């Protein structure tokens, strides 16, 4: 499975309530950092969308916070990236 698809799967699990938002915020930020090069090779435009705001959005995650706003922001970025990915 491609790294872009893995990122999409992580986000989809979050949006379906199957991924703890705090854990997601840590995991996604690290995943994007660790896989920057391979994601860039696979789909540069999609990588740019995911790398632009998603790490900052995830960095906002803290124990005890209301994750509703973070999840909405993640969903907006996901939709942009998915649309670009499907259109290539």
Distance CA 47, CA 29 (A): 13
88 pLDDT tier (thresholds 50, 70, 90): low
Q: Is the dihedral of CA 41, 57, 9, 87 positive or negative?
A: negative
Model pLDDT for residues 29-82, shown as the tens digit of each residue: 999 999 999 999 999 999 999 999 999 999 988 999 999 999 999 999 999 999
Number of domains in the chain: 1
For residue 61, what are the domain limits?
3-87
87 pLDDT tier (thresholds 50, 70, 90): confident
- The whole-model pTM stands at 0.94
Mean pLDDT over 5-30 rounds to 97
Token pair of 19, please?
A: 């991924």
């Amino acid at each position: 499975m491609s790294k872009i698809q893995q990122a999409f799967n992580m986000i989809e699990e979050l949006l379906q309530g199957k991924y703890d938002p705090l854990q997601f915020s840590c995991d996604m930020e690290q995943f994007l950092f660790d896989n920057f090069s391979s994601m860039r090779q696979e789909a540069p435009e999609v990588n740019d969308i995911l790398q632009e705001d998603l790490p900052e959005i995830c960095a906002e995650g803290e124990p005890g916070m209301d994750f509703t706003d973070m999840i909405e922001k993640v969903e907006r970025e996901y939709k942009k990236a998915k649309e670009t990915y499907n259109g290539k």
